[in-house]
Amino acid sequence: MEDMAVAVIAKSMLSGGVAGMCAKTAVAPLDRMKILLQAHSRHYSHLGVFSGLKGIVEKERFIALYKGNGAQMVRIFPYAALQFTSFEMYKKMFGESHIGRFSAGSAAGVTAVAFTYPLDTIRARLAFQVHGEHLYNGIYQCASHIFREEGGIRALYRGFTPTIFGMIPYAGLSFYCFESFKYLCMKYLPDWTCKSCSANTGGLVLMVPYKLLCGGVAGAVAQTFSYPLDVTRRRMQLAMTSEHTKKFGMGMIPTLKIIYEENGVMRGLYRGMSINYLRAIPMVAVSFSTYELVKQMLQLDTGIPIKTG
């Protein structure tokens, strides 16, 4: 029995890790552009999403669209593996109620980010570099520089507070919305959205197009509520990259205040939101869909208990 439980956890972690890698690689160019816009890179802050992507290719080559993605893959596999697997565990603890699903999602997000945050800081630093102005040569050199020159482990966790505050609504809403939309599809629209699957709880499995739809809507809702704290996190992570950015290293509230005073709500706290919708919706859609597909391949249950009456 214990061996079976370990096998289920291992399969769930593998499913989550693969899902995270697929989702992040699919939107890596948009991810890099988002970081450059959020942090007001002097090379790209005056450009829009598509002109910025074109500018990256012209100035730095096509492969530069994926700058920082190596560090992202090192981070995202354990991050997504922990997030999805811990969600399954927290869901059993908190139950299937509305607040239970939200709490399980929030707790899963906080658990995952607490273990992998330094890798996100490193990935952001690498992605923020432009051709000819490189401070770092790779993941190890970047990590050691931040650790030695900027304050040890605390520097690697700079921006962690707004990340946690942002992760609670983001992960909570992502998982809650996906699970809720999936439940509604399976209960009220099974003939259109599901196939029969005797191995699953409820005897149904959601078809791929509807997995993508549920995931995409969940991503849009979650990003809308958590985005200002994501901007704050990025500014704090990049605080020591130049004299101009040092002011963002003083803490979450001062950073939020500076962003608002200098750029306002839409041009500051929600800067880069259009590109974020372009990346977040497909990213979350691919993430949830891939997770469920890999689970199905590994013969794990992806069903939901359907209440009758």
Quote the crossing angle between the two packed helices 98-128 and 139-150, to the nearest 10°. 90
* pLDDT of the residue at 181: 97
Residue numbers of the domain that contains 160 = 2-297
Map residue 204 onto helix, strand or coil.
strand
Residue 31: pLDDT band with limits 50, 70, 90: confident
Question: What is the total residue count of the chain?
Answer: 309
Note whether residue 147 is domain-resident.
yes
Residue 46 belongs to domain with CATH number: 1.50.40.10
Confirm whether 153 is domain-assigned. Answer: yes
What local confidence, expressed as pLDDT, does residue 3 receive?
Answer: 59
pLDDT tens-digit series, residues 112-131:
999 999 988 888 888 777 66
Contacts of 57 (CB under 8 A, 6+ apart): 64, 65
Mean pLDDT of the chain: 88
Instruction: Tell me, yes or no, whether 306 lies in a domain.
Output: no
Question: Stretch 56-67: mean pLDDT, rounded?
Answer: 87
Per the CB < 8 A criterion, the answer to whether 268 and 248 are in contact is: no
Are 233 and 121 spatial neighbours (Cβ–Cβ below 8 Å)? no
- The token pair at 290 is 């891939």
Binned at pLDDT 50, 70 and 90, residue 1 comes out as: very low
Which pLDDT score is estimated for 43?
67
Domain contains 304: no
Q: Which residue has the higher pLDDT, 198 or 80?
A: 80
Q: Kindly state the percentage of the chain with pLDDT values over 70.
A: 93
pLDDT in tens, 234-272: 888 778 767 777 788 778 888 889 999 998 998 889 987
The verdict on residue 269 lying in a domain is yes
In sequence order, which residues have a C-beta less than 8 Å from that of residue 99 and are 6 or more positions away? none
SS3 content of the chain, % helix, strand, coil (to 5): 75, 0, 20
Q: Which residues contact 260 (CB under 8 A, 6 or more apart)?
A: 268, 269
What pLDDT is recorded for position 307? Answer: 77
Binning pLDDT at 50, 70 and 90, where does residue 46 land? low
User: How buried is residue 74: exposed, middle or buried, by Cβ count under 10 Å (0-12/13-18/19+)?
Assistant: middle
Measured distance CA(106)–CA(259) in Å, rounded:
26
Answer whether residue 28 is part of any domain.
yes
**Residue 45's pLDDT band (boundaries 50, 70, 90)?**
low
Q: Residue 260 corresponds to which amino acid?
A: Y
Report the predicted TM-score, pTM, of the whole model to 2 decimal places.
Answer: 0.83
> Average pLDDT of 80-108?
96
CB count within 10 Å of CB 67 equals 24
pLDDT band at residue 50 using 50, 70 and 90 as cut-offs: confident
- The residue type at 148: R
Alpha helices in 189-251 (DSSP H): 190-193, 208-237
pLDDT score for 70 = 83
Residue 302 forms part of a structural domain: no
Domain assignment present for residue 236? The answer is yes
d(CA 294, CA 143): 32
Residue 224, judged by CB atoms within 10 A of its CB (0-12, 13-18, 19+), counts as: middle
Q: Indicate the number of domains in the chain.
A: 1
Helix/strand/coil for 196: strand
Residues 6+ apart with CB under 8 A from 302: 200, 205, 206, 292, 295, 296
